[in-house]
Structure 1
Amino acid sequence: METKDQITEQPSRYDNLEQMSVSELIHHINDEDLLVAEAVKRALPQIEPFVEAVEERMKRGGRLFYVGAGTSGRLGVLDASELPPTFGVPDSWVIGVIAGGDDALRHAVENAEDIIERGWQDLQKYHPTADDTVLGIAASGTTPYVIGAIRLARQNGLLTGCITSNLNTPLAEAADYPIETIVGPEFVTGSSRMKSGTAQKMVLNMISTSLMIRMGRVRGNRMVMMQLTNTKLVDRGTRMLQELLGLSYEEARECLLEAGSVEKSLLKNEE
């Protein structure tokens, strides 16, 4: 379904890459990467209403699903997997679904993205409801697995959105809230793991972090609900309590470990 007239398939602005020095390569790649933040900025008017709509549903108990294939799917799984330790939320709040399943996180799974019904089928094990949201991620905007998931999710009353790097794609047409980050041709022609992938990661960071803040998982600017899963995070939480409560390091650490989180420690102190 991909065609040469798509922006993501247009020839690179650079040629004869194999003849470039390392210095030339990395400087040109950096020059291209500088364009990504501006592309995401142009998409902010599309991102804002999507986040607001998802927030409304999450406050009713709805979940957010990321659906993608290849790099796009991996980025969705990555973002979803980072939220429980960072914000102390159940892993059922935001769920990443990738064409080909977990094997596709490390290895290419042949033809996994080409079956249009499979994306919606893969969502069924989560028993989706009308309070849930499905965000399709596909740089091309033409991936059958993702398009099918979005179309059928919308038909079944779920909120839908998408992130693409092309304009007016079938995926954008299928979604309630299309987000189009037009980053231009890739440094290596067609390699959408580069600028398109960077834009996707930035938008996912924006969406999930904004939602976690709006859902009360941040106090001030601190990750007060983070899971205390390693020494670094215990130390970070201890230093937060030192600053907020005026305790010694030892007192703050004892308070933190007894309560189980920074937030619970603060609530206990406020009683």
Structure 2
Amino acid sequence: MARTPVLQADRVDVVRDGRLLLDGVSLTVHPGEHWALLGPNGAGKTTLFGLLGAVSHPTRGTVQVLGHTLGRVDLQRLRGLVGHVNPRHPLKSALKVSDVVLTGLTGSIERAPRWSPTPDQMALADKLIATLGLSERADARWPVLSQGERGRALIARALMPDPGLLLLDEPATGLDLPGREQLVESLDTLQRTRPELASVIVTHHLEELPSGTTHAALLRAGRVLSSGPVDDVLTSRTVSDCFDHPLALTRTAQGRWHAETLRSRAA
């Protein structure tokens, strides 16, 4: 029996201020799939991500998120069902990691006034903090966290409502090399421990993709150049075409990707 898609975009156009930002984009994500969304600046990644995260509506075509069709459902309510990780989280106060994670239940940036978590909710927060490798930092406050620690805390926060879909918008932004690797390792752990969770990660860099990435879509000028199983899509030829630059892709024995400029034999 076919599984119900977590995300489904069908021939989607997006027009803003007379500009065609997405042109006939189709994408289907099933439970347990982990998609990478790649493309050069201006390819339409952010616009598509806004649709997948129930932030905006398409101009033409249909988008279904967790079984709900955009235009027929309250977007604010639907957004509460999606785990959205924004590395530019606008927290201003000095909350502890555990408190930041708990705000995932209230959908707020700060701790909601007159709200207290139940013992089960506290236990879930502790479990997610441990899964993301932050147990020793659970009482550390936001201003003293590294960028990588903040990113992992925000993933734990996004998972508190037990979403079926996790959206990661350039989660490695601003991370140094150890921070990036800790983040990627945490994402791989999630993919192993939550087999029904689907995810979509937007990135410019192949090196930031977890080894558990199952599918990929390449966007250029608002169109999908290629999409499907990751080993079919992430090839030297397709990625070179997408970024309009000759690239040689390799994949390590551990399942990670690397890209470098393809040197001509004459050189």
Normalising by the residue count of structure 1, what TM-score does the alignment of the two structures yield?
A: 0.29
Kindly indicate which of the two structures has a greater share of residues assigned to strand. Answer: 2
Kindly indicate which of the two structures has a greater share of residues assigned to helix. Answer: 1
